[in-house]
């Protein structure tokens, strides 16, 4: 199959959302409203999603909403039929199953294949999208198993990638995601970082992008998510196409390399401003990510991979540049996109 026919089948109506937890929507409805205006859709995570949506709708929020019940991480979600009726009652743009976690099994492909068969059967009966949280090694090391299993069901699927830190830092994960996005129709990537824009570029139908370290991937308790201490904000730096701590950005500024944001959110101000804990960094992060996603999705389906990869290449060329006092080396995910 040629690349043209692969892309011709999908990706033409791709969209993205911001991925917010139900408590975040309750605490900062303004962030949810901004997310809905910048991304046109929001994804609300957790069993409290429909209740949070009711309150947003009551305040005039009209954008489409998706729900990740996070059933792969908990067992207090109602049964699939009830969960879907809860989504329907608040006008979800489509319905997702509660979700299950697919653990890594290095010896056997059955774990993945059986999970897909079971979930696709439930999804088919209920007219829903199946939701699988998968250990990132499945997409990194068993790409063809994932592609073949998902293609065989002919059902819409939403994937959440699980890893203790960045799932796309696992060797093989970026080319795996790229291939899955090209080959699996009606694919959604949920609870992801900016790497999901790459999935959109290569044919995924929808990507839900998180704004915090816990909403940019899923980590099981056994994966022991690694956290850097401190409350400093994480800031998406468009030119470097990655997330950095505001403390680190302030350090580059102090050393003579200021990084400014020319988008409407910051109006040319330094990103070091977010060292101030009273400033809400969400507004900037959403603008910067929406700008990157719109840049790719604004192009013809055929041009999207090239535009995305050029964005990554331009970013990589800035790392370690003579005279730039910022980070010296791109993180593995960014390097992987350039090499993919
Ligand atoms: Zn900004």
CA of 140 to the centre of ligand 1 (A): 33
Chain-centroid distance, C-alpha 56 = 22
CA of 238 to the centre of ligand 1 (A): 9
The count of residues in the chain is 340
Q: What is the pTM for the complete model shown?
A: 0.93
pLDDT digits (tens, 9 = 90+) for 181-200: 999 999 999 999 999 999 99
pLDDT at res. 292: 97
Of 39, 88, 44, residue with least CA distance to 65 = 44
CA of 95 to the centre of ligand 1 (A): 33
Please state, as a whole number, how many other Cβ atoms lie within 10 Å of the Cβ of residue 257: 14
pLDDT digits (tens, 9 = 90+) for 119-136: 999 999 999 999 999 999
CA of 196 to the centre of ligand 1 (A): 20
| 103 touches 71 (CB < 8 A) | no
Q: Which residue has the tokens 């006008």?
A: 91
Where does CATH 3.20.20 sit in the chain?
3-223
φ, ψ (nearest 5 deg) of residue 197: -65, -35
CA of 287 to the centre of ligand 1 (A): 6
CA of 292 to the centre of ligand 1 (A): 12
Give the separation between CA 210 and CA 138, rounded to whole angstroms: 21
Residues β-bridged to residue 242: 237
CA of 263 to the centre of ligand 1 (A): 5
CA of 177 to the centre of ligand 1 (A): 28
pLDDT at res. 248: 95
Give the separation between CA 276 and CA 273, rounded to whole angstroms: 6
pLDDT at res. 247: 93
Please state, as a whole number, how many other Cβ atoms lie within 10 Å of the Cβ of residue 302: 12
CA of 241 to the centre of ligand 1 (A): 13
Four-CA torsion 214, 20, 340, 10, nearest 10 degrees: 150
Give the separation between CA 198 and CA 178, rounded to whole angstroms: 7
pLDDT at res. 3: 38
CA of 40 to the centre of ligand 1 (A): 19
CA of 114 to the centre of ligand 1 (A): 45
Instruction: Give the side-chain half-sphere CA count within 13 A for 120.
Output: 17
Listed in sequence order, the residues at least 6 apart from 207 whose beta carbon sits closer than 8 Å to its beta carbon are: 14, 16, 17, 188, 189, 190, 192, 196, 197, 199, 200, 293
Positive or negative, the CA dihedral 199, 159, 89, 211 is negative
Give the separation between CA 50 and CA 31, rounded to whole angstroms: 17
Give the separation between CA 252 and CA 43, rounded to whole angstroms: 34
CA of 237 to the centre of ligand 1 (A): 9
Q: Which residue has the tokens 């009209």?
A: 62
pLDDT at res. 167: 96
CA of 229 to the centre of ligand 1 (A): 24
| 11 touches 301 (CB < 8 A) | yes
CA of 273 to the centre of ligand 1 (A): 10
Positive or negative, the CA dihedral 246, 248, 249, 254 is positive
pLDDT at res. 318: 94
Give the separation between CA 84 and CA 63, rounded to whole angstroms: 19
CA of 172 to the centre of ligand 1 (A): 32
pLDDT at res. 154: 87
pLDDT at res. 7: 39
- Report helix, strand and coil shares of the chain as percent, to nearest 5: 45, 15, 35
pLDDT digits (tens, 9 = 90+) for 12-32: 589 999 999 999 999 999 999
Of 188, 210, 135, 264, residue with least CA distance to 11 = 188
CA of 178 to the centre of ligand 1 (A): 28
Burial class from Cβ neighbours inside 10 Å (0-12, 13-18, 19+) for residue 72 reads buried
Enumerate residues with CB within 5 Å of ligand 1 (an ion). Answer: 261, 263, 265-266, 284
Residues of the chain with pLDDT under 70: 1-12, 225-231
Assign a CATH topology to domain 3-223. Answer: TIM Barrel (3.20.20)
CA of 290 to the centre of ligand 1 (A): 11
CA of 265 to the centre of ligand 1 (A): 4
């Amino acid at each position: 199959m040629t690349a043209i026919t692969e892309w011709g089948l999908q990706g033409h109506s791709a969209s993205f959302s911001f991925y917010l937890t139900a408590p975040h929507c309750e605490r900062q409805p303004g962030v949810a409203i901004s997310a809905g205006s910048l991304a046109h859709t929001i994804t609300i995570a957790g069993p409290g999603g429909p209740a949070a949506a009711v309150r947003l709708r009551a305040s005039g929020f009209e954008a489409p909403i998706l729900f990740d019940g996070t059933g792969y991480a908990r067992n207090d979600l109602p049964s699939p039929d009830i969960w879907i009726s809860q989504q329907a009652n608040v006008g979800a743009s489509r319905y997702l199953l509660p979700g299950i976690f697919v653990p890594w099994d290095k010896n056997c492909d059955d774990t993945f294949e059986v999970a897909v068969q079971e979930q696709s059967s439930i999804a088919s009966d209920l007219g829903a999208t199946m939701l699988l949280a998968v250990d990132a090694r499945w997409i990194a090391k068993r790409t063809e198993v994932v592609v073949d299993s998902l293609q065989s069901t002919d059902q819409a699927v939403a994937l959440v990638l699980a890893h203790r830190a960045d799932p796309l830092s696992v060797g093989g994960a970026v080319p795996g995601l790229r291939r899955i996005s090209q080959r699996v129709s009606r694919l959604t990537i949920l609870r992801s970082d900016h790497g999901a824009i790459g999935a959109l570029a290569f044919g995924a139908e929808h990507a839900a992008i998180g704004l915090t370290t816990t909403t940019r991937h899923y980590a099981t308790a056994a994966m022991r998510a690694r956290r850097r201490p401190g409350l400093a904000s994480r800031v998406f730096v468009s030119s470097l196409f990655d997330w950095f701590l505001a403390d680190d950005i302030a350090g580059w500024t102090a050393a003579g390399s200021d990084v400014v944001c020319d988008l409407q959110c910051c109006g040319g101000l330094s990103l070091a401003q977010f060292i101030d804990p009273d400033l809400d960094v969400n507004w900037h992060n959403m603008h910067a990510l929406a700008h990157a996603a719109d840049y790719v999705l604004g192009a013809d389906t055929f041009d999207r991979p090239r535009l995305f990869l050029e964005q990554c290449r331009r970013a990589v060329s800035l790392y370690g540049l003579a005279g730039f006092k910022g980070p010296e080396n791109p993180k593995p995910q960014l390097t992987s996109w350039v090499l993919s």
